[in-house]
Structure 1
């Protein structure tokens, strides 16, 4: 329970903000742009901050005496602990230099309280999943905006100017998948990467793993989902970060520890405020509108073959035209795009290669700068990996797979316009929606 309390309140930070105002009342103008009384956890602090705002509105001096009189006038002096409590606040901080740190803490706790409140309503069935995600995003964005207003300082402007110039170098965005970054070199503006696999092989999981790695670099990502709702995508990301099963989240069956983990994961995902999930846009023109509005660093489309087509072509020509339009997006907006695609079911168990395995149109392969396939090795292929990993036989491999909760997979770079192709074994951990290098299994 202490962990839960630490998530939703920080008494010292609230006291330090109020003490800073009594020490230097000039900071109230800035504080009013970032804080409201409802962001304080303790009722007495809400009363005090509200009284301070009233005094400031009348252009009066804010000190112990005027604050005491205002609280007395409103009938709240006894509620906050009397003049002795106000006096104690005035001595709680030696300087106001750290007041922005206290503000950040109070806003963070306020966001956490809102998350818990919304999740409890969701658990009780008072709101549905769409309302949950909308309200969470809305509350968090509002709270974040309070801090963003601070960014008119010369320091922030200088940082943005440096970032703008630095962007011209265009070093590419790292996927966070070692093999891909070493071989492809990252994701660059004007380039299209296709991740393709048969159903159930983990192409969405790989895309979401890249998504998480990119947003944690501070980059903005737009995820277009044609298969799953925004809440399902969010649940998968939380599962990967926490180990909580998606089924437990869907069934609203989380214990106290899991709720804490859930809140922490949401906070991590939202702290940069740079993830945008859209499950309603299903046309190329709609994707373009979103890009113009959001201005993302990376776009991920899940997946190409289920986009609604707005042209006149039919059959394979339709998908060829869709592919060319997606490629044009990368050039028109100078951003990298990852599109997911299905492989032909006739492929059976053979390792995919070339353009012939792509469902719907070979043009998808032709338009891509890089093509990544995900493959489940056959018994014969898996046996070769057993030898390199020091595993005795297939039975031992399967036993380890079961213990690790994973399936042996291959990430294949089938096309690399600027370098070599190749493949490498990875463990696909289905319940965590992530891929790990094979050496990890030896640590079991």
Structure 2
């Protein structure tokens, strides 16, 4: 008969933490950020930790006598093993110098136990009759995500250290003044305004249908990958991989995509397509077309891609087609959580994340149809989380007699760390391609 496995734990580390807290109570500030009572494997260790924490929070003296008295008042002293056990734990370490190291060991073992329990809950649900796989997957994602969010977050850092890092960045900017510091789009005026898309930024590009928002981000991805060798992850929730690559091929080759779609190609189209295949096939572009991808799955895939191939830019087409992976009270709350999550991914991976977004129909009711911030669909959280919010407007779409045929405005409505304003680009509709205006007729 197989013996039951003992859950992960380190009783010596637990005792070391408790003993160090009684020896040097001032170390509690860091320990109480790392550990919660439930992180302790033994019940008596958990109860002693609670007593220590309560004394610390009240500002009372923390030592062997006060801890024993607090446990006695709560009727827990005998439950933990009496004064002898508390005394033995208090003498278990000679100093508190390694307390954070011990606390992290306790937290690690606790996380492993929680992971085992979570896996067990998922397995049990898998045996329940009538349980749908998609529902179970969503619940599993939520349980795992809840665990990851419990990991220790960065705390305070002295301004001295921050200033050193900031000054180094300023020196780098000065040494490369006029040059880009982020991921280039190769749209000259846009890059001049943004200095390229910056690491950790969430960039929202929004437009009404048929304005060319997918074409624009694909052009940005293609330019960054082909011309600057930036590894790009494209998450396409609306179009298949094949449709996306066909668009990119037509754009790179400057071939009418309607002719490609119908197979009605000209003899001159073939050499252009053939020449375009080379640079595209060598470009570090990675495409995922999972329908309704969840925030957790996107994060996992992006992290894995960064480890395996490097990652410089993430493109998502589009935000409202993503799912949270767990039930939300409303669609607005779900979009808000996704928006916050995308900003978190940008910061965690230190890459710009460009997410396309829909606009509501209100823009169609106005005389001036240039989008404004309130036109963003489910806009509150997106507006708060985004570092850059931009809108695409093509006047010829609404005004057939427009003087600005073939011209698109990219309106930077929010720019957390830079200027706002509008940039004009050429739009070659037959190639689904945006270009700098001076190249429009090449």
Change (3 A) 1:204 1:395: closer
- The answer as to 2:258 corresponding to 1:241 is no
Q: Counterpart of 1:390?
A: none
Q: Could you tell me how far 1:395 is from its partner in structure 2?
A: 4.8
- The answer as to 2:403 corresponding to 1:397 is yes
Q: Counterpart of 1:302?
A: 317
The 8 Å contact of residues 195 and 371 in structure 1, kept in 2 or not, is answered as yes
- Deviates further, 246-255 or 412-421: 246-255
Q: Under a length normalisation based on structure 2, what TM-score does the superposition of the two structures give?
A: 0.53
Q: Counterpart of 2:219?
A: 209
Structure 2 matches for 1:289-438, cutoff 5 A? 289-295=300-306, 296-313=311-328, 314-348=330-364, 350-352=368-370, 354-377=372-395, 395=401, 397=403, 401=405, 406=406, 408-438=407-437
- Deviates further, 221-230 or 178-187: 178-187
Unaligned runs of 5+ in 1: 1-165, 383-393
Change (3 A) 1:207 1:277: same
Change (3 A) 1:427 1:338: same
Q: Could you tell me how far 1:424 is from its partner in structure 2?
A: 2.9
The count of corresponding residues between Structure 1 and Structure 2 is: 257
Q: Which of structures 1 and 2 has the bigger CA Rg? A: 2
Change (3 A) 1:235 1:423: same
Structure 2 matches for 1:54-65, cutoff 5 A? none
Change (3 A) 1:424 1:351: farther
Q: Counterpart of 2:185?
A: 175
Q: Could you tell me how far 1:252 is from its partner in structure 2?
A: 4.0
RMSD of aligned C-alpha atoms? Answer: 2.8
How many Å separate the matches in 1 of 2:341 and 2:271? 43
How many Å separate the matches in 2 of 1:303 and 1:395? 31
The 8 Å contact of residues 355 and 366 in structure 1, kept in 2 or not, is answered as no
Deviations 1:63-115 (A, max 9, x none): xxxxxxxxxxxxxxxxxxxxxxxxxxxxxxxxxxxxxxxxxxxxxxxxxxxxx
The 8 Å contact of residues 376 and 410 in structure 1, kept in 2 or not, is answered as yes
Change (3 A) 1:250 1:353: closer
Structure 2 matches for 1:81-230, cutoff 5 A? 171-216=181-226, 217-230=228-241
- The answer as to 2:275 corresponding to 1:264 is yes
Change (3 A) 1:222 1:396: closer
Q: Could you tell me how far 1:439 is from its partner in structure 2?
A: 5.3
Unaligned runs of 5+ in 2: 1-168, 174-180
SS in 2 for 1:397: coil
Q: Under a length normalisation based on structure 1, what TM-score does the superposition of the two structures give?
A: 0.53
How many Å separate the matches in 1 of 2:402 and 2:432? 24
